[in-house]
Amino acid sequence: MDIAACRLRLTDHLDEFADEYAPTFQGAGTLTQQLEQLSKVKALLWEHGFAQWGWPERVGGSGGPAMLRAMVGEEIVARDLVVAGFFSMTETLAPTLIEFASPDVAARFVPRILSGSEMWCQGFSEPNAGSDLASLSCRAVPDEDGWVINGQKLWTSLSQFSQRCLLLARTGTPESRHRGITAFFLDMDTPGITVRPVAIMSGNAEFAEVFFDDVAVPDARRLGEVDGGWSVAMTLLPFERSTAFWHRTAFLWSRLDRIVADDPKDDRAAYLIGEAFTALHALRSRSLATLQRLDRGETLGPETSIDKVLMATAEQKVFDVARTLFPGLMETGDDADAQQWRDEFLYSRAATIYGGTGEIQRNIIARRLLDLGDER
């Protein structure tokens, strides 16, 4: 499939049906409005056959290279039709199901994710296991009918809105570290699951604590082998740093375009915008190389830590430039535009934390890519 021809077909469609795709709110909107908009856009893309591009036919897709998915998300995000991070969650969860679920399970659930009829969350981080997933303690114990899960997850994005959760739980001893973890997916309305939303700096309750108290899960909901959950996690995270990062880059370019369009009258503007442009160009170039490896069927590994460092750097730089060149807008502005800039600036502060902290990523780059030795 020719990417350029497909892009033209998609952009023509988005132009023709612009009113149908457009948000019904101004600025950032509330979290509920953002998620309603996300479901609407995904449903429209599915209805018109675009959400299927780049996904295997065996899970309801229409085939073609992964770059097609990247392009669709790029166009949607660049038009500010959805929150980039929410749209890109599909790019981490669906490939993981395709890789580790049975063919019939993948064929059943992946179309629901692609079409927006279901939302899934990712139960990885815990209060004492953020970037160090190997230390997680949420435990799954086998019983006659499957497994019983007890423990807690934290920073579980959109779990209060989700129908299902892809969960990592310890099935080995604490000392087994990454060798004693198993992956499951479970229904969020299962008895014993309690969700407590957590408000972030912007005031949105995008994250939540999730508690599991004697939650019964059939063994058919296990992904991969027992004690093989680390492989699931290491498959999911690189997907987060490939197609999803391409979408994120499109979002950041759109924000830099808005800064330039406002023509800030500041003698530092050209220098600051140039710095942000350079950071974004480096990120986009690196992200393109990662997508090309994905298209060739290559395994994505520790080298995607470079992508994560570049993404966090570029994101924070773009919003630092906006705050500098539009003094007072984020601090005291009270219209919808100011609120959106404020929310996005505050969220950018977490770019060096979520998905693996900057310190952890630099450790991986040093130890596993540059062979600078083990930690002492």
CA angle, residues 60, 119, 8, in degrees to nearest 5:
55
How far is Cα of residue 123 from the mean position of the Cα atoms in its chain? 13
Residue the block writes with tokens 């008895």: 191
Is the Cβ–Cβ distance between 107 and 283 less than 8 Å? no
DSSP secondary structure of 170-195: E-S-GGGGGGGEEEEEEETTSTTEEE
How many Cβ atoms from other residues are within 10 Å of residue 60's Cβ? Answer: 18
Supply 49's token pair: 């056959």
Backbone angles phi, psi at 167, to 5 degrees: -120, 140
Burial string for 181-199 (b: 16+ CB within 10 Å, else e) reads bbbbbbebeeeebebebee
User: How far is it, in rounded angstroms, from Cα 102 to Cα 107?
Assistant: 9
Give the residue numbers marked as catalytic.
240
Burial string for 208-238 (b: 16+ CB within 10 Å, else e) reads bbbbbeebebeeebbbbebbbbbbbbebbbb
User: How far is it, in rounded angstroms, from Cα 37 to Cα 23?
Assistant: 6
